[in-house]
Amino acid sequence: MKGPLFYSKILLFGEYGIIKDSKGLSIPYNFYKGALKISDELTEESVQSNKNLERLATHIELLQETDKYFPQFDLISLRDDLNAGMYFDSSIPQGYGVGSSGALVAAVYDKYAIEKITVLENLTREKLLILKDIFGKIESFFHGKSSGLDPLNSYLSLPILINSQQDIEPAGIPSQLATGKGAVFLLDSGIVGETAPMVNIFMENMKQEGFRAMLKDKFVKYTDMCVEDFLSGDVKGLFGNVKKLSHVVLHNFKPMIPAQFHAIWEKGLDTGDYYLKLCGSGGGGYILGFTEDLEKAKKTLEDYKLEVVYSF
């Protein structure tokens, strides 16, 4: 058995801000993917994955017993497949902010939810919010609290525009230019990031009035403008606002940026060759970069491997 593929995602804009109802834009990233699989050849990773899925199945069982709004899953088949050695065969790096647990949750819902909302239906806003809620409850097993957006993106394999926590819709994004010089890229920090500690730091900071004001007046404002510029194809406006956003993040989210990246973050702001921002919760994993001239950015960042995710 090998199930359908579920892809990683990239939250281009909205990390942390979406907790406070900023806009957000999440896109599928097809370079990394995963699928549920049963195979006789078990590796150390697949055994570990099978154990994780066992615990996730228990979490789903509990949700089904205690939450009257939670859908029914075919738990007998799920347990049978787990006993047969099922695991999640995935190339998605964990702790990198590209949605490894989201793809897993999407795959489990797709295979075992009994009356599932399918991608082929007319996806009303109400159905999207129901799916997001279900996915958030399942994914909370991994992160303690989850918006449900990562699994939703992986499940639908569509760009998703987040207008607010209660208003989400599939988004059309401008088609990529194969000949374009500009790009959005991923920079590998070489460190695994953990979501929960980063979110805890953010929540502690939110107790300070100054931080809350910065979030509303600068972070959310520039995030919203970036989303609007990106969707309307206003590249000039986008880079102006990404620069402002990058500056705000460097000066207010320092604990989320690995220390060895503070200098190259600053260098991008000084030279204008590229601008960096968090990819997911930070603390490690990938850092997201925006550049109007990819070749120039590659030269300045020659010690790092850049993965292009979108071309302008």
Q: Is residue 295 part of a domain?
A: yes
| pLDDT confidence of residue 76 | 98
Q: How far apart are CA 150 and CA 256, in angstroms?
A: 20
Write the CATH number for 200: 3.30.70.890
Q: Which of 124, 142, 170 is the last residue of a domain?
A: 170
Q: Are residues 103 and 244 in the same domain?
A: no
Q: Are residues 144 and 238 in the same domain?
A: no
Which of 279, 52, 123 has the alpha carbon at shortest distance from 187? 279
- List pLDDT tens digits, range 200-223: 899 999 999 999 999 999 999 999
Q: Are residues 194 and 145 in the same domain?
A: no
Compute the C-alpha angle 123/129/135, nearest 5°.
105
Query: Is the entire prediction scored with pTM above 0.95?
Result: no
> Mean pLDDT by 10-residue block, N- to C-terminus, for the chain (312 residues)?
88 87 90 93 91 96 96 98 95 87 96 93 88 94 83 93 89 81 92 85 94 95 96 94 98 93 96 95 91 95 92 89
Number of domains in the chain: 2
Q: Are residues 236 and 118 in the same domain?
A: no
Concatenated DSSP letters of 46-96? HHHHHHHHHHHHHHHHHHHHH-TTSPPB-HHHHHHHHHTT-EEEE-PPTTS
Q: Is residue 1 part of a domain?
A: no
Q: Is residue 177 part of a domain?
A: no
Domain that holds residue 204: 183-311
Contacts of 274 (CB under 8 A, 6+ apart): 268, 289, 290, 291, 296, 297, 300, 301
Any idea which residue has 């154990």 for tokens? 51
- List pLDDT tens digits, range 40-51: 888 999 999 999
